[in-house]
Chain A
């Protein structure tokens, strides 16, 4: 079953704008990860944030984590057409040794 929901389900922006996606989850976690998936292909790991971290940066990506609200957000700054993809958050609880994915946000960046 899915761990939680992502919001929005779909997002369309212009190149150069920022894109923000939100993820909510249900159980306590060890870490939360964000993955990107281009249409019909495998997933690519973007960034991992541990439960004791509140914010993390990697290039144009900024991730925040609020464990009290069981939510995370992914910000992509200065978006490019190549950022067009589906973005998934996934939680790792440790005990199960598996990732539990959200439902994903489809991002479209238009020229």
Chain B
């Protein structure tokens, strides 16, 4: 399978714990995006990488959120001190020169 993959698919955690999600983009894609989607809403942009450089961050990305793409390949999104409001689907997408983004299956986070 050469599509975008995300791990884990589901994560249940207790409030206050840290969680980390991983995204593996399509191999030749240099641009990688993170989005967050809550129930009944469309995805909302969180952050964007071109190669290893993080070029844009949304105001939604509070200080508790950090994203990395150390070698311009896979990316991680970490949420520290999780809150119940962080419960959502976290989606990763990648693209190259096209404006079309290819999405992974998402990681569903539930904070108890």
Residue contacts A-B, CB under 8 angstroms, 5 given: A2-B42, A31-B99, A92-B99, A99-B35, A100-B45
Count of chain A residues with Cβ under 8 Å from any Cβ of B? 25
List B residues 88-112 near A (Cβ within 8 Å). Answer: 89, 91, 93, 99-106, 108
B108 & A40 in contact (Cβ 8 Å cutoff): yes
Place the interface of chain B in its size category. Answer: 20 to 34
Interface membership of A96, Cβ < 8 A = yes
Residues of B with C-beta under 8 A to A81: none
CB distance from A98 to the nearest CB of B (A): 4
- The verdict on B48 contacting chain A, using a C-beta distance below 8 Å, is yes
Asked if residues B42 and A101 are in contact (CB atoms below 8 Å), the reply is yes
Residues of B within 8 A of A101 (CB): 42-44
Interface string of A25-55 (1 = CB under 8 A from B): 0000011010100001111110010000000
If the complex has contacts A2-B41, A103-B42, A104-B41, are A97 and B101 also in contact, measured as CB distance less than 8 A? Answer: no
Known contacts A97-B31, A97-B56, A98-B33, A44 near B103 by CB under 8 Å: yes
Q: Are B108 and A98 in contact (CB under 8 A)?
A: no
- Residues of B contacting A35 with CB < 8 Å? 103
| A42-B4, A43-B103, A99-B101 known, 18 other contacts, Cβ within 8 Å | A1-B44, A2-B41, A2-B42, A31-B99, A33-B100, A40-B106, A42-B91, A42-B106, A45-B102, A48-B99, A98-B33, A98-B45, A98-B48, A100-B45, A101-B42, A101-B43, A103-B40, A104-B42
